[in-house]
Structure 1
Amino acid sequence: MEYPDRHSATIFSSNLLANFERLGGQRFCTEALPTSQRLEWLKEVIGREYANVDVGTPDQMYLYNDMLIYFWSQGMRLSPIRSNAITIERLPKEPEHISQDCYFGVLLTRGQYKLEQGGREVFLKPGEMTIYDATEPHRVTTPGPFSKILISIPRSLLDERIANISRLTATRLSTVHGAGAITASMISSTVNQLEQLDQASFQALSEPVLELFTLSLQQVVGKTKQMSHHRSQALIRVKQFIARNLTDTDLKAEVIASAMGLSVRYINNLFNEEDTSLMRYLTQQRLARSRHYLASSLYSHLSITEVAMQSGFSNMSHFSRVFHLTYGMSPRAYRYHYPNDHGV
């Protein structure tokens, strides 16, 4: 079992816990609950405060999660979070509260963090940032103890500043130089200086943090636009070809490259600009389709094997393994867990 680092917990307490009530914050911690009740309690809290999710922990792992929520102006929220290893997956269910219709900016401060959304995945190291849409399917995986700072930003605040944010989710926002470095530093400094801030000063920081985070996203948009029109059109054609032929169990990298008149290496370079690869993208699309089939009553007549085949998988053991790795349960358990759900 892994327990939270006591030294880190002490720092967490001295910097934050003494100030969250003074600044109008809330605390949700598993520590006072019996072990047997922690998982369901945490799932309920995250579902109420952030998004409708399923929560899991590695076998025999001690569940510990401590989150603080500070309310900022314009509906924004600042949430320092400490936790042991955990998996969080967005359930196919519409937001229940207006506060859940938002984007989450993430600054990892300790441990490792994997985020999957929109067919992309990003692996964060301490000091790195990313963003995701709270209302869209996503999966967060952390293999060990970690700490992060979560910034909740109402959808309207970002949508009016940046168009088509969905193309930026689950991508790494550079914190090495430029706007990203300043943004990460300011977010971290804000949390570290909470004990020195009065309510008015704390509230005044929400707007500059929002503007800096917007600049960090625009920095990524600028790099994305550097892809030439020819390369972007080539990537679109590859994705369209994959979508049309997804059920073909013989669809491999070489087949796709031959059909498109491109090399496998060139196609992988195209996908590298979205932080993925050709075969990883193909597998993700097949998994997404199988997940949709398993959760929809329209395909309840299909057996698990038929679902796999119609999603392009020819090897059942491979299908079961990658499905479980991605969604945290077997295909059969997933169908049982989300019966007749049209919302996937």
Structure 2
Amino acid sequence: MPLVEPLRQSPNRFEAGDPTDALPPQSNTLIPGTARLWRESATFVVTPRAPGRALIVRLPAEALIARLGSIANLDRRPLSFAQGSGAICFTLLVVLIAQAPLLSQEQRQILGDCAFDAIVVWLRSEQTVRVGLSAHRRELLNAIYAYIERYLDDDQLCPRTIASSFGISVRYLHSLFTATGTTVAQWIMIRRLEAIRSELLLRGGDRGCLRDVATRWGFHDLSHFSRVFRQHFGTPPLTYIRQRTGSQRTEP
């Protein structure tokens, strides 16, 4: 049962269904109570612990990589959803799929975005566990993530100021992020794009609003911002906002 528009009609969205859809190669390695991500096809399979059908989610690969950096350390490895963000994702997906027939196109789209966001949060937490960092380095990395969140709207936020705040060298800071498959600058951009999206959804957003919000978050070239936004979320910004708010505005 598709969660949103079928993938063959819109490659920038994702669908979820049952295992009668084509499973990835080596699907016989699935373990009850775990999930696996097939990097090549960006197919995510969640296998319930109790007997039942596996949950198949086809993710937009380009957007997934844009938001997570390298996902090589997640490829085909068992991911637990017994607790934390994984448990929330599993519950959310099961409920959304069950209720999908009762939802409008717009509702499926918006809630599908929420589900994808939740999966990204889950996979980010799995990445920090799997990057091979010591417990001390993982703790430091998580503290740096929190620091970036706190000062995300500060135009002075950069690797140098972050390193200085934690009493470490810029080189050491870069080495922490290298293990996650992204850079400090890329992570800051990812988080700012996600903040921009939230603000645009709240404000509705015409072209003037888009320029104002993007500029305030450090994107002074609107064409460049539109390209980066599309890579990150799969859709140009005004199209994205129009689809989720019912606005009839067009792209610049």
Aligned to 1:163: 83
Aligned to 1:241: 147
- CA distance, structure 1, for counterparts of residue 41 and residue 130 of structure 2: 28
Q: Structure 2: which amino acid aligns with 1:339?
A: T
The answer to whether the aligner puts 1:80 opposite 2:22 as a matched pair is yes
SS at match of 1:251: coil
Aligned to 1:260: 166
- Pick which of 323-332 and 281-290 moved more: 323-332
- CA distance, structure 2, for counterparts of residue 123 and residue 107 of structure 1: 10
Preserved contact between residue 286 and residue 313 of structure 1 (Cα < 8 Å)? no
Preserved contact between residue 257 and residue 264 of structure 1 (Cα < 8 Å)? yes
1:269-314: per-residue Cα shift (whole Å, max 9, x none)?
22233332211211110111111112224x6598112221343434
Matches within 5 A, 1:102-181: 105-107=36-38, 116=64, 119-123=67-71, 128-129=75-76, 159=81, 162-164=82-84, 166=86
Q: CA deviation at 1:239?
A: 1.5
- CA distance, structure 2, for counterparts of residue 250 and residue 316 of structure 1: 21
1:188-218: per-residue Cα shift (whole Å, max 9, x none)?
xxxxxxxxxxxxxxxxxxxxxxxxxxxxx9x
- Percent of residue pairs bearing the same amino acid type: 22
Aligned to 2:187: 281
- CA distance, structure 2, for counterparts of residue 227 and residue 252 of structure 1: 22
The answer to whether the aligner puts 1:306 opposite 2:226 as a matched pair is no
SS at match of 2:64: strand
Higher helix share: 2
Size of the aligned set, in residue pairs, is 179
Preserved contact between residue 247 and residue 311 of structure 1 (Cα < 8 Å)? yes
Q: Structure 2: which amino acid aligns with 1:80?
A: A
- CA distance, structure 2, for counterparts of residue 104 and residue 332 of structure 1: 34
In the superposition, relative to structure 1, how do residues 280 and 50 fare at CA in structure 2: closer, same or farther (>3 Å)? farther
TM-score, normalised relative to structure 2: 0.53
Q: Which has the higher contact order (CA 8 A, sep 6+)?
A: 2
Q: CA deviation at 1:254?
A: 2.2
Preserved contact between residue 115 and residue 121 of structure 1 (Cα < 8 Å)? no
- CA distance, structure 1, for counterparts of residue 129 and residue 141 of structure 2: 16
TM-score, normalised relative to structure 1: 0.40
- CA distance, structure 2, for counterparts of residue 324 and residue 115 of structure 1: 8
- If you compute each CA radius of gyration, which structure gives the higher value, 1 or 2? 1
The answer to whether the aligner puts 1:339 opposite 2:251 as a matched pair is no
> What is the Cα-based RMSD across aligned positions, in Å?
4.5
Aligned to 1:292: 198
Preserved contact between residue 290 and residue 307 of structure 1 (Cα < 8 Å)? yes
- CA distance, structure 2, for counterparts of residue 308 and residue 266 of structure 1: 31
Q: Structure 1: which amino acid aligns with 2:160?
A: E
Unpaired segments ≥5 residues, structure 2: 25-32, 44-60, 90-122, 248-252
